[in-house]
C-alpha cells in the first residue's frame, strides 16, 4: 500500500514540505486547479506541478480529479469535444508519469455536507450531513459550495443546469457514463493509467438529481461496462459507508480481490439513527466503520495501490480548508501506517 496525501497546490495553506514530514509518506495527490472544467491542462503546467512535487521528494503518481464536464454527464452533443479533451488529459498526464486518475460522475454537486464546522464534544470541528438541515436547503435559492469542489455555480447557472437534468434520470445517466467509459478506457489502457471513479457522496440522490455510483449492485454494473483493470474504483470508505445499506468491509474485500480498486480514501464517519452522519477521527472507536478491518482486508488481498487518509477534523486551532487541514489528516496517516506496519510484521512471523 502506498501512502498518499491530497494537496491543493501552492495556494494550499498546508505546505508540501510539511506533508513530506509525515513518516512513510510516498505520493502527493493533486490536480491543476486553474483550468476550467473540460479544458485540456497545458503540459507545461503539469510539468511544473510535477517538478514542485518531486522537489519535495514525493511522487507525482495520483491525480484527483480530472473533473468530467457537465455536458458529458448530461449527454449533450457538445460532449464529444469534452471527451476528446479528457482523452488528451489522460495522455498528457501519462506522459508525466501519472499512474492513477480519480474522477466522479455526480451530477452538479460533488460531495455534499450541510455544515462544515460542527463543534464536537472535544472542541474539534467537523463536517456533518444532517438530513433535517438538508431538507431546509434549497440550492436554487442560495449559493452552495464546498471547499473541495472543483467548480461551484452562481444561482442562475445552477437553475440552468438543474433544468437540463429534468430529462436525465438514472438510466439516462448510466447511458451517458457508458458512452464516456467506452471512449476513454481504451486510451487509459494504451497509456497505462488506471482510471478510478469516486463513489457518490452521499451515495443516494440529493436535491432530486440522479446518483448511480452508490451501492454494490451499481458498482458491479459499473465495472462490467468496460471489464478492464483500467476501469476501476476509488473506494471511499466514508462515502459508501454513509448509507447503512453498504457493508464497506465486504465491498473492499470484493473489489480488491478483483484488482479493481486503485485508490483508497480512508476515513471514518458516525452514522446517526435517521441516516444523517458526522465525520469523525479515523480511529475506529470514534465512528461506525472498523478501519482496522478495512486495512486488514486490503492487506489480506495484497492491495498495492494508493491509500490516502481522507478528511480530517480541525484540531489544535488549525484553520483552513474544511476537511483538508494538516493535523488530523496527519494523525490519520500515522494511524493507517501503524496498522499496516503491524500487519506486515505479523505476516512475516507466519
Q: 2 or 198, CB closer to ligand DNO?
A: 198
Is position 313 an interface residue for ligand DNO (rule: CB under 6 A)?
no
Residue 324 is a catalytic residue: yes
Is position 110 an interface residue for ligand DNO (rule: CB under 6 A)?
yes
Residue 265 is a catalytic residue: yes
Return the closest-CA partner of residue 71 out of 168, 145, 143, 214: 168
Residue 299 is a catalytic residue: no
Return the closest-CA partner of residue 1 out of 291, 304, 243, 302: 304
Listed ranges 101-109, 207-215, 279-287, 289-297: which one lies at the site for ligand DNO (CB under 6 A):
101-109
Is position 104 an interface residue for ligand DNO (rule: CB under 6 A)?
yes
CB under 8 Å to 133, separation ≥6 — which residues? 114, 115
Are 46 and 92 contacting, i.e. CB atoms less than 8 angstroms apart?
Answer: yes
Return the closest-CA partner of residue 104 out of 96, 112, 116, 93: 112
HSE, side-chain direction, 13 A CA sphere, residue 226 = 25
Is position 64 an interface residue for ligand DNO (rule: CB under 6 A)?
yes
The C-alpha cell at 50 is: 510535477
Residues 3-62 that bind ligand DNO (CB under 6 A): none
Q: Print the binding letters for residues 209-248 with ligand DNO: x by CB under 6 A, - otherwise.
A: ---------------------------x------------
Listed ranges 80-88, 104-112, 281-289, 290-298: which one lies at the site for ligand DNO (CB under 6 A):
104-112
The C-alpha cell at 205 is: 440522490
Is position 65 an interface residue for ligand DNO (rule: CB under 6 A)?
yes
- Which member of 265, 286, 306, 335 is catalytic? 265
Determine which residue in the list 60, 103, 303, 335 makes contact with ligand DNO, applying CB under 6 A.
103
Neighbours of 120 (CB within 10 A): 17
- Which member of 71, 110, 201, 310 is catalytic? 310
The DSSP annotation for 22-36 comes to STT--EEEE---SS-
Count of residues that interact with ligand DNO, criterion CB under 6 A? 13
Determine which residue in the list 113, 262, 265, 299 makes contact with ligand DNO, applying CB under 6 A.
265
Residue 198 is a catalytic residue: yes
- Which member of 69, 198, 282, 299 is catalytic? 198
In order of 122, 139, 169, 239, the CA distances from 198 in angstroms are: 31, 23, 20, 9
Listed ranges 98-106, 114-122, 224-232, 295-303: which one lies at the site for ligand DNO (CB under 6 A):
98-106
Are 234 and 262 contacting, i.e. CB atoms less than 8 angstroms apart?
Answer: yes
The DSSP annotation for 199-242 comes to PPSSSS-BTTB---S-SHHHHHHHHHHT-STTEEEEEEHHHHTT
Q: Where are the alpha helices (DSSP H) in 130-191?
A: 131-136, 155-164, 170-191
Q: 277 or 347, CB closer to ligand DNO?
A: 277
- Which member of 130, 324, 327, 335 is catalytic? 324
Is position 279 an interface residue for ligand DNO (rule: CB under 6 A)?
no
Residues that bind ligand DNO (CB under 6 A): 64-65, 102-104, 110-111, 148, 198, 236, 265, 311, 323
Amino acid at each position: 500500500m502506498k501512502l498518499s496525501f491530497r494537496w491543493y497546490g501552492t495556494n494550499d495553506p498546508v505546505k508540501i514540505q510539511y506533508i513530506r514530514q509525515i513518516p512513510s509518506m510516498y505520493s502527493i495527490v493533486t490536480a491543476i486547479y486553474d483550468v476550467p472544467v473540460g479544458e485540456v491542462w497545458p503540459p507545461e503546467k503539469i510539468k511544473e506541478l510535477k517538478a514542485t512535487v518531486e522537489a519535495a521528494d514525493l511522487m507525482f503518481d495520483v491525480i484527483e480529479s480530472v473533473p468530467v464536464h457537465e455536458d458529458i454527464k448530461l449527454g449533450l452533443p457538445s460532449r464529444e469535444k469534452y471527451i476528446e479533451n479528457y482523452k488528451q488529459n489522460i495522455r498528457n498526464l501519462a506522459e508525466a508519469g501519472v499512474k492513477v486518475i480519480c474522477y466522479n460522475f455526480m451530477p452538479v454537486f460533488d460531495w455534499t455536507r450541510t455544515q462544515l464546522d460542527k463543534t464536537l464534544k472535544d472542541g474539534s470541528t467537523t463536517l456533518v450531513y444532517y438530513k433535517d438541515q438538508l431538507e431546509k436547503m434549497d440550492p436554487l435559492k442560495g449559493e452552495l459550495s464546498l471547499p473541495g469542489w472543483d467548480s461551484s455555480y452562481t444561482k442562475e447557472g445552477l437553475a440552468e443546469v438543474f433544468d437540463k437534468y429534468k430529462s436525465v434520470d438514472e438510466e439516462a445517466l448510466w447511458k451517458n457514463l457508458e458512452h464516456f467509459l467506452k471512449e476513454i478506457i481504451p486510451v487509459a489502457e494504451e497509456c497505462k493509467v488506471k482510471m478510478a471513479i469516486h463513489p457518490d457522496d452521499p451515495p443516494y440522490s440529493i436535491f432530486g438529481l440522479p446518483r448511480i455510483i452508490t451501492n454494490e449492485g451499481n458498482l458491479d454494473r459499473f465495472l462490467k461496462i468496460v471489464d478492464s483493470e483500467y476501469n476501476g474504483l476509488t473506494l471511499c470508505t466514508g462515502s459508501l459507508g454513509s448509507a447503512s445499506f453498504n457493508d464497506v468491509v465486504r465491498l473492499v474485500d470484493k473489489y480488491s480481490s478483483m484488482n479493481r480498486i486503485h485508490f483508497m480514501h480512508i476515513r471514518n464517519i458516525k452514522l446517526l439513527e435517521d441516516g444523517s452522519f458526522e465525520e469523525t477521527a479515523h480511529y475506529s472507536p470514534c465512528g461506525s466503520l472498523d478501519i482496522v478491518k478495512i486495512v486488514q482486508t486490503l492487506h489480506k488481498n495484497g492491495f498495492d495501490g494508493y491509500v490516502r487518509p481522507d478528511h480530517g477534523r480541525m484540531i489544535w486551532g488549525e484553520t483552513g480548508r474544511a476537511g483538508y487541514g494538516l493535523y488530523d489528516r496527519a494523525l490519520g496517516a500515522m494511524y493507517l501506517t501503524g496498522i499496516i506496519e503491524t500487519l506486515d510484521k505479523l505476516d512475516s512471523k507466519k
